[in-house]
Amino acid sequence: MNLRFAATLGRRILRGRDGTARYLRGAIMGIAVSLVPLVVVMEVSTGMIQGITARLLEVGTYHLQIPVSPTTSTARLAELSASIGGVADVVAAVPEKQGTGMIVSASGAAGVSIRCVPPDVFARDAGFKAYFTIRSGTADLSRDDSVLLSAALAATLAVAAGDSVNILTTWDEAMSGPPRLTPVRVVGIYETGYQELDATLAYASLGLAQHIFSARASRAIIGVKVKDPFANLAVIEQRVAAAAGGEVRVASWRDIEFSRLASFRTTKALLLFIMALIVAVAAVNVSSAIVMILFERRHELGILKSIGVDQSSLAASYLLSGLVTGAAGTAAGLGLGLLVAVNINGVIAGITGAVNGSLRLLSLARSAIIPGSAPFGSFTLFNSAYYLSSIPIKIDVLEIVVAGAATILLSAVASFIPAARAARIRPMDILKKV
């Protein structure tokens, strides 16, 4: 095979002075357009999964959990936390009592999960503090009658920082007696950025737990944070168990959130599979472009074969054309896709604003034609009530490289198949059809 000749012929095909380059330009555009949604879905889903996972780990489940008896005293919980906090690679150990109840205000009521934590939880747990934003009031839980409500709960109950509410809980050990009503004060309104965590979660002082929860209606844990939660935690689990007395069960975040994280991964895989099919179809269009170029250059192809140009050189020239086409489309698609992905929050806001503006204009026009007609409803492209308040973006270089390499490879294979077939045709068969 004459590589120099193949490269020269390939460049001539790409230039397309006789107009055949329009087929390759169409293939480049098709690949670029198909890659944009793939890159956006890939990076947005990665960012959202990592953002949700980080909040689950730091604010929700901790990295490790050690269940203890609900009857354990506050002093004993503090002693266990101090012992576990001294284990190598452990950065925080937080005692916590949890239970369910109802928060009642003058304007409504809402069922909640109440987490009773030490007043110095922010000083103990830097990860918790990083994702816990106080919107109004303070995070001071030094008084036993203090409670922190999420912004979502505060809106439901129509309360603000400084207002008084009541916590309604089941107190009787047999869980058949009257509930206990405990007055508390809302000291602060918070957000974590993950609406599912915020929707039904309130925080109170650890000292309040003994007043609102009976042993049967609550659970107690030691929440543990480690240096690297994504490493193999088996050794740390053994150390923590030993520090807690040996006969305890230590659960890692992977066990606690297994179903939720598996659902995220499955959803992402299905979305990427659908987007990858679109890219594959676009890459195969390179084959159609090569076929059209071969058809329009059949006279040239017949002459080249009749003067002795070998099959491999001809096939290589068209393979080079398809490879460059695939690379150009891939570069354009990845670049545009990354540009959209990085600015996805602005893109979503822009689309939502444009659609809602159009709907308002249509509502005005309809009301002028049909007086008294109801306006069109608002349009929401991304509902933060089910996800994060904003989409965090995490660029995974490996995913981008794999997607680009696969697209270029598909383009090369798609272009080689018709080129190899045409290179095997005899010169006379070609020239008779010219």
Please say whether the beta carbons of 36 and 340 come within 8 A: yes
Please say whether the beta carbons of 193 and 135 come within 8 A: no
What average pLDDT does the chain have? Answer: 81
Rounded to the nearest angstrom, the gap between the alpha carbon of residue 390 and the centroid of all alpha carbons in its chain is 11
HSE of 292, CA atoms in CB hemisphere, 13 A? 17
Residue 3 to residues 231, 311, 320, 323, 325, Cα–Cα distance (Å): 49, 12, 10, 15, 19
Q: How many CB atoms lie within 10 A of CB 38?
A: 24
Residue 169 parent element (H or E): strand 164-170
Which tokens hold the place of 136? 């109004």
Task: List the beta strands (DSSP E) in 192-229.
Answer: 201-205, 218-226
pTM of structure:
0.71
* Contact partners, residue 79, CB within 8 Å, separation at least 6: none
Task: Return d(Cα 237, Cα 64) in angstroms, integer.
Answer: 8
pLDDT tens digits, one per residue of 389-421: 677 777 888 888 888 888 888 888 887 777 777
Q: What is the identity of the amino acid at 323?
A: L
DSSP state for residue 177 in the 8-state scheme: S
Task: Return d(Cα 102, Cα 95) in angstroms, integer.
Answer: 23
Please say whether the beta carbons of 125 and 166 come within 8 A: no
Which backbone phi and psi does 112 adopt, to 5 degrees?
A: -140, 160
Task: Return d(Cα 392, Cα 194) in angstroms, integer.
Answer: 11
**Residue ranges per structural domain of the chain:** 3-52+262-431, 97-222
> Which string of DSSP letters, residue by residue, matches 37-95?
HHHHHHHHHHHHHHHHHHHIIIIII-SEEEEE-TT--HHHHHHHHHHHHTSTTEEEEEE
Q: How confident is the model at residue 288 (pLDDT cuts 50, 70, 90)?
A: confident
pLDDT tens digits, one per residue of 196-240: 778 888 999 988 888 888 777 788 999 999 999 988 888 998 899
pLDDT tens digits, one per residue of 235-286: 998 899 888 877 678 889 988 888 888 888 888 888 888 888 888 877 777 7
Q: Indicate the burial class of 72 (C-beta count within 10 angstroms; 0-12, 13-18, 19 or more).
A: middle
Percent of the chain past pLDDT 70, that is, above it, reads 82
Task: Return d(Cα 92, Cα 86) in angstroms, integer.
Answer: 9
pLDDT tens digits, one per residue of 19-41: 566 777 777 888 888 888 888 88
Mean pLDDT on 45-61: 84
Q: How many CB atoms lie within 10 A of CB 135?
A: 12
Strands 108-117 and 146-150: unpaired
Which tokens hold the place of 1? 């095979």
pLDDT tens digits, one per residue of 296-355: 666 666 666 666 556 666 667 777 777 788 888 889 899 999 998 888 888 888 888 888
* Contact partners, residue 414, CB within 8 Å, separation at least 6: 283, 284, 285, 286, 287, 290, 322
Task: Please choose, from the candidates 415, 401, 421, the residue with its C-alpha nearest in 3D space to the C-alpha of residue 323.
Answer: 415
DSSP state for residue 345 in the 8-state scheme: H
pLDDT tens digits, one per residue of 8-21: 555 666 565 555 66
Whole-number pLDDT of residue 8: 59
> Which string of DSSP letters, residue by residue, matches 127-143?
HHHHT-EEEEE-----S
Task: Return d(Cα 108, Cα 164) in angstroms, integer.
Answer: 13
| Helices 311-342 and 21-55, axial angle in degrees (round to 10) | 40
Task: Please choose, from the candidates 215, 207, 169, the residue with its C-alpha nearest in 3D space to the C-alpha of residue 72.
Answer: 215
